[in-house]
Amino acid sequence: MDHYLPRILRARVYDVARETPLELANNLSRRLSNSVWLKREDLQPVFSFKLRGAYNRMAQLSEAELSLGVIASSAGNHAQGVALSASHLRCRAVIVMPVTTPGVKVDAVRQLGAEVVLHGETYDEAYAEARSRSEAEQLCFIHPFDDPEVIAGQGTVGMEILRQCHQPPDVIYVAVGGGGLIGGIAVYVKSLWPDVQIIGVEPHDAAAMTLSLEAGERIRLPQVGLFADGVAVREVGEHTFELAQKYVDDIVTVSTDEICAAIKDVFEDTRSILEPAGALAVAGLKADVSRRSLQNQNLVAVACGANINFARLRFVAERAELGEEREAMLAVEIPERPGSLRCLCELLADRSLTEFSYRMRAGDQAHIFMGVQVSGPDDRSSLIGHLNTHGYPCLDLSDDELSKVHLRHMVGGRLPASATTSHVQELLYRFEFPERPGALMRFVTALHRDWSISIFHYRNHGADVGRIVVGVLVSPNDLKSWQSFLRDLGYSSWEETSNPAYQLFLGG
């Protein structure tokens, strides 16, 4: 502590970084019955705390070292910090990034004037390449986390938190990748307020610090998950591990779904969108509150980055409801007879559906894949019990990764040959309707009880317009009734019976 405290106090970060606000997250605080504060490091010029450590390290370089230039390996945020620091210090910067790095981070580094080298699938491969080039080209290597001056630069986040709090917080939650941020914050905070708990947060599939602390030595992971790419590190640093052993109180691990839910939570409070690693501390805070039943405490989460690819938001939005345990994904068995689908929908009349996929098949039973909004685990259990009681056995798929990522988009198949005759044909229609509570049920209840529904697919996209695809088995005598149904329904509709894609993949 004596070694790091003066380094943090004299750290040169404010030439390029700014003091970021500590903001109360009103919605999250109310929901969790605690005062939840967000340290907004996503508001830095490069949208990440990494600028602090990078600049503090580079500001210590001699004129001779700066004249040769610097090199770094990074999945993105450290790269931008080094690039901006190099621009300010007027020196050459080479950044080696994994080929898996989000494009928004690669483009940002190039725009700051650094030379980008894409190499390897993981951070470790990029690190090895950067080290090799450092020796070959005599470039000073700027480590992303395992350097005392980098750690000291990140420690200024802790210095600001204590200065901005009216009273010392009860707990500070910090994302952990290589460990530089939590090491710097922990050593500073514990030097002044040793009773403040410092809790690290890691993804389940990149928990290098968790396993290392449990083993009492640094553990190298055979592989890491890449969703939270900013913390996708196989092995923590020597300096950072030593600091974590001394000053970190605990580590919490969270799932991808919990991270997505935390991104949504921060958006609802701030209208800002964090990257997965940036929302890690918030996800850990929520998990720890639940685990320890914390109430009426002052909790700080460091929102450490906001460099996210826009295309990733589709995945985040889809998984956030699952992460909050507000959506149940179920496989429901129904009798294969006219009216059974309608009866099921009547049981769900008071529920908001997020997805509903059905395809008629041969046999006496069929299965429906559906997503239903729930208020929590107890409500999910109640829903399953309600369906089972009314003769609709169901399988809970809410925690099944295969179903969440793939099967929900693959439900379908061809119409059994026995379902159609010369007197019955399958018609396929698309419908659009204003997305509001009860709109989907209005559609289902308007269908004639004697019509056999052969395809039904609905997904709630979070838009103002709901979309349904319906296949119905209609005899020539019923065509007039079907046309009347379309006219009276009042929703926009398009016939897709002749659509080549339908004929190729779903047609009888």
Whether the predicted pLDDT of 4 surpasses 90: yes
pLDDT in tens, 441-488: 777 777 777 778 888 887 665 556 677 888 888 888 888 888 888 888
More confident residue, 255 or 411: 255
Please say whether the beta carbons of 121 and 152 come within 8 A. no
Rounded-to-10 torsion of CA 300, 305, 308, 314:
0
Please say whether the beta carbons of 182 and 198 come within 8 A. yes
Segment among 26-40, 69-83, 325-339 with least mean pLDDT: 325-339
Whether the predicted pLDDT of 410 surpasses 60: no
SS (H, E, C) 323-337: HCCCEEEEEEEEECC
Give Cβ neighbours of residue 439 (< 8 Å, ≥ 6 apart): 433, 466
User: Which residue ranges does the chain devote to CATH 3.40.50.1100?
Assistant: 5-48+148-321, 53-141
The mean pLDDT value for 240-253 works out to: 97
Unique residue bearing structure tokens 């580079």:
58
pLDDT of residue 244: 97
More confident residue, 284 or 365: 284
The CATH number that domain 53-141 falls under is 3.40.50.1100
Proportion of the chain above pLDDT 70, given as a percent: 93
User: Which residue ranges does the chain devote to CATH 3.40.1020.10?
Assistant: 325-505
Which of 235, 306, 378 minimizes the C-alpha distance to 77? 306
Proportion of the chain above pLDDT 90, given as a percent: 54
pLDDT in tens, 61-70: 999 999 999 9
Relative orientation angle of helices 340-347 and 439-446, to the nearest 10 degrees: 150
Between CA 260 and CA 326 the distance in angstroms is 13
Domain 5-48+148-321: CATH class, spelled out: alpha beta
Give Cβ neighbours of residue 402 (< 8 Å, ≥ 6 apart): none
The CATH number that domain 325-505 falls under is 3.40.1020.10
Rounded to the nearest 5°, which phi and psi values hold at 84?
A: -65, -40
SS (H, E, C) 88-153: HHCCCEEEEECCCCCHHHHHHHHHCCCEEEECCCCHHHHHHHHHHHHHHHCCEECCCCCCHHHHHH
pLDDT of residue 446: 78
pLDDT category of residue 188 using cuts at 50, 70 and 90: very high
Whether the predicted pLDDT of 312 surpasses 70: yes
Unique residue bearing structure tokens 């390029």:
16
